[in-house]
Structure 1
Amino acid sequence: MYLGVDCGTQGTKVVILDQEQGRLRGEGYAPHELISAANGRREQEPCWWIDAFRRAYHLALEQASIDSRTIRAIGVSGQQHGLVMLDARGEVIRPAKLWCDTETAPQNAELLQRLGGEAGSMAQLGLVLATGYTLSKLLWLKEHEPDNFGRIAHILLPHDYLNYWLSGEIAAEYGDASGTGYFDIRSRRWAPQVLGLVDPSGRLERVLPPLLEAQQAVGRVRAEVARELGLNDDVLVSSGGGDNMMGAIGTGNIRDGVVTLSLGTSGTLYACSDRVPQQLHPQLASFCSSSNGWLPLICTMNLTGAANAVREMFGLNLAQFNAEAVSAPIGAGGITMLPFLNGERVPVLPDATGSLLGLNMQNLSAANLCRAVLEGTTFGLRYGLDLLRDAGIDSREIRLIGGGSKSTLWRQLVADVMNARVVCPQIGEAAALGGAIQAAWCDLNRMGQSTSLESLCDRFVAFDDAGAVEPVARDVEAYEAAYKNYRQHLQAMYQLS
């Protein structure tokens, strides 16, 4: 048995993968709290992730009805970019600033300027620094909390911290590390000269964790944790990775020509490549994958959160919200929503706010607004898909994951807006499944079995072909007109081409 863990923004999921039967035996979930402020602050206490893991683990174990001592390895997926800092005693210094924190936008702009703009950032890192990456959080801390900044003995990402709690070992993995803003994605090495823009003393370089390849183990579960969880004392903790990297493994996106789209708290769209990305658009984040390749990716900040905000505004449950949206015409009667309720990363608009455009007495209805938020968030992802296609990365099939993928309406909307076949994995918890598959890869290699990640994905990742959705030609044309309006509004308001 292998344990997969996904520590996301809203909660932690745990799955138990039975390698003999090739299926999940148990699943568990526990939610997280969120520290939120109007200035863009988004933080969480790392201890909340541990508490949620414990609850989700016991739920999964109860559902699986297995002996916990049959678990051989654990793989952890975590939300990217979050800053976790430990002091010299290994204690957390302050709440972690998250990927969706835009309070640090001024620091990001300053650092990007120090790097020499987009061209300088691309030259030193292989990607363009963006608000939300870890680097700007360090500068924010130095400027706003110098005492805490001075206490830093270790810098970790969220999944690194869970690995540390499980194993007592401090390490980082290439895929997740590539989203920090102080990592060169081409050489797969830290970029200490970039950290020097925050602190010229060189101290930050000395508190970085060592780097691991994807198939390497961080270590074994600590004896104290093993006793608490009822595990044997030789359970491996694999390198793990960022949620997008683990989601790629959990959707079998480890070969060229595959595109995964996640409809979650954020919206992400990514494709795997076995070549170092060259001359991509500055808004494409060319991260490393957790399959020893690369993962060109775009991320939008507002997705299910924006949809839920509209739903709750009208006091609708999910079924009522979907019914309202279905009843509205494509294009929402001429209403366009720019759903930037939390700023935006792609396009680069960290200080943007949401907008409703095209309102009149005839189209102002709950149905049109419900459809407008689904269209607006999906158009943002189409904007990103256009960037991937312009870079020569294309696929006629999209592998759809995340909470939004459960909506029949949203699946069809994605197919029509993207003009591509949409298929969903049979196991929807792609990042947690990816963690479990990576744990199996690590464990089997430990035992001397030269098992490939491809063979494991072929075995454990299956798709609901009966539920696949094809684009409808008539609706593709109608959405193309609505998307054109979206792009025109975007350019008019923010001078984007």
Structure 2
Amino acid sequence: MTTTKLFLGIDCGTQGTKAIILDAVSGQVLGQGAAPHTMISGAYGRREQDVQQWLDAFTIATRQALQSANVDGQSILGIGVSGQQHGLVLLDDQGQVLRPAKLWCDTETSAENDRLLQHLGGEKGSLERLGVAIAPGYTVSKLLWTKEQHPEVFARIARILLPHDYLNFWLTGRCCSEYGDASGTGYFNVRTRQWDLQLLRDIDASGRLQAALPELIDAHEAVGTLLPSIAEHLGINPDAVVASGGGDNMMGAIGTANIRPGAITMSLGSSGTVYAYGDVPSVSPDASVATFCSSSGGWLPLICTMNLTNATGAIRELFNLDLPQFNQLVAQSPIGADGVSLLPFFNGERVPALPHATGSLHGLTLDNLTQANLCRAAVEGTTFGLRYGLDLLRQNGLQSQRICLIGGGSKSAVWRQIVADIMNTPVICTEQSEAAALGAAIQAAWCQSWTDGHDVSLADLCQRCVKLDPNSETLPIAANVAAFQQAYERYQQHVATL
């Protein structure tokens, strides 16, 4: 009798690819690996990546994870891939990549997005038609931009894929997409779970775009098995099932067991996200709330802020501080940072909706201009943005008994307390900080069980594999909650002036 069932979870993010090996029987993560990516940055907010880097990083991270788990790749039963959302990967009819992938954080297509939004009847029209209000980061404006800026590339498009779809194609040779990641394209209806073909015809009447769309599959469906050459290249069992995979937020939801109403996941990564599971597509009237599909069969109302650890990291670099020094300074400064407020909108901002905003400091005097206050103001300012988003989700009927915190920022005890106090909600972290890679591995186990016909439920797998870290549990402190409420109101006043 097999005592282990091994699955590979991959998370291909902006900064790098992470791999974990999960034993779905014991629920233990046995090994991990990671490899970095670099970004192509240019004028007007260009943010792109050479997709070959993803394949190289996938290979390195997988080999590292197998080695650190000390397991043979031939015993891997399935692979799940989590990918950064919204990115555009274009292939020709030979399956070759036509140009670097445009990423979620690319704002070069803002003008195209504005025109598409106008075409849809503004945010209200977009919400009514698609269930989401398209934003510059979404995939749809990247298609229009390609048509106008690179007509020779546009003429050769045979496949339109998201980053995780492309990795699945590389693994299996099959082009498909699942509902969660498809929700962030801007040409997908989240209520009916279908592509909006008319919108693509409006961009290009030839029908070229709709012909290039991947087929849609359910979250529990497998894409297929590995191509023999890829199985050999990665050193993995050629019969390993490749799961549908999904966007990083959808996989992060599975990796934090956020598959039932009542749970909230908050990610403190380079950007900040807050999301919760919903059984029905209850679309918020506020355009900042994206009611995406989940990769577990439901919906995932979500808000995303553009500035989080990228903003706190910028302040850290300015003062040449390592993380422990930075956290120590944050702890030294009082709640409200002695009156110093940082609006950390260095990349513009999505929540609150201020795409053209810049970062700004307020309330400085000769007495409060200290490193500690500036460090604290950076953490508070980014966290207030998440509070603003959580309030929007709560107004849409969301219950939040507890927040599960993931991402780099969640490792800081000081920041965990600030989150608990600002949100007035208990906070806890998962033992496995790579929630998206873990979610991808759990989804692979779920897909494999469907293929096998013994239907292990996703809830069973989450219960076994998602472990909370009791040492990280942080409760709000009443006096802090009251003090933060004042500081938050001050933040809201500053935002109102923009």
Query: What SS does the corresponding residue of 2:468 show, helix, strand or coil?
Result: coil
- Unpaired segments ≥5 residues, structure 1: none
Percent identity over paired residues: 59
Q: How far apart, CA to CA, are the structure 2 residues paired with 1:74 and 1:476?
A: 43
Aligned to 2:3: none
What is the one-letter code of the residue matched to 2:108? E
Structure 1 residue identity aligned to 2:180:
G
- Cα displacement (A) at 1:38: 4.5
For residues 482 and 33 of structure 1, what CA distance do their matches in structure 2 show? 37
Q: Which residue of the other structure, out of 423, 436, 439, is the alignment partner of 1:434?
A: 439
> Alignment partner for residue 486 of structure 2, among 436, 458, 481?
481
More divergent stretch after superposition (194-203 vs 476-485):
194-203
SS of 1:113's equivalent? helix
Structure 1 counterpart of 2:114: 109
From 390, 406, 409, the equivalent of 1:404 is: 409
CA 1:338–1:197 in structure 2 vs 1: closer, same or farther (change >3 Å)?
farther
1:156 aligned partner: 161
Return the alpha-carbon distance in structure 2 between the equivalents of residues 300 and 394 of structure 1. Answer: 20
In structure 2, what residue type is equivalent to 1:174?
Y
Q: Which among 237, 241, 254 is matched to residue 236 of structure 1?
A: 241
1:64-463 equivalences in 2 (<5 Å): 64-463=69-468
Secondary structure of 2:286's counterpart equals coil
Runs of 4+ in 1 over 3 A off after TM superposition: none
SS at match of 2:157: coil
Displacement after TM superposition at 1:37 (Å): 2.6
Secondary structure (helix, strand or coil) at the match of 1:211 reads strand
Corresponding residue to 2:27 among 9, 22, 28? 22
Q: Which stretch shows the higher mean deviation, 128-137 or 229-238?
A: 229-238
CA distance in structure 1 between the partners assigned to 2:21 and 2:118 by the alignment? 46
**What is the rounded CA distance, in whole Å, between the counterparts of 1:334 and 1:345 in structure 2?**
25
* TM-align CA RMSD: 1.0
Contact preservation (8 Å) 2:24, 2:442: no
Deviation at 1:194, TM superposition (A): 1.5
SS of equivalent residue, structure 2 residue 475: coil
Q: Offset of 1:431 from its aligned partner?
A: 0.4
Between the aligned partners of 2:406 and 2:342, the Cα distance in structure 1 is 23
How far has the Cα of 1:279 moved from its partner?
Answer: 4.2
Q: What one-letter code is carried by the residue in structure 2 that aligns with 1:410?
A: W
Contact in 2 for aligned 1:131/1:345 (Cα 8 Å): no
Shift of 1:228: 1.4
Give the drift of 1:202. 2.2
Separation of aligned partners in 2, 1:74 and 1:395: 32
What residue number does 1:61 align with?
66
Q: Is the 8 A contact 1:135 1:182 kept in 2?
A: yes
1:51 aligns with 2:56: yes
Q: Secondary structure at the match of 1:196?
A: helix
SS at match of 2:203: coil
Contact 1:272 1:296 in 2 (8 A): yes
Q: What do residues 82-124 of structure 1 show as CA deviations (whole Å, max 9, x unaligned)?
A: 0000011111111111111111111111110000112211121
Counterpart code for 2:38: E
- Write the distance in 2 (CA, Å) between the matches of 1:372 and 1:51: 39
Deviation of 1:282 (Å): 1.7
1: distance between equivalents of 2:52 and 2:147?
23
User: TM-score scaled to structure 1, two decimals?
Assistant: 0.98
Deviations 1:227-258 (A, max 9, x none): 11222221110000000000000000000011
SS of 2:134's equivalent? coil
1:36 to 41, 47, 61: 41
Q: Distance in 2 between matches of 1:360 and 1:194?
A: 52
Within 2, Cα distance between the matches of 1:83 and 1:278? 25
Quote the offset at 1:200 in angstroms: 2.5
Contact 2:293 2:299 in 1 (8 A): yes
- 8 A contact 2:12–2:83 mirrored in 1: yes
Asked if the contact 1:114/1:197 (under 8 Å) is kept, the reply is no
Deviation at 1:3, TM superposition (A): 0.4
Alignment coverage as a number of residue pairs: 493
TM-superposed deviation, 1:162: 0.6
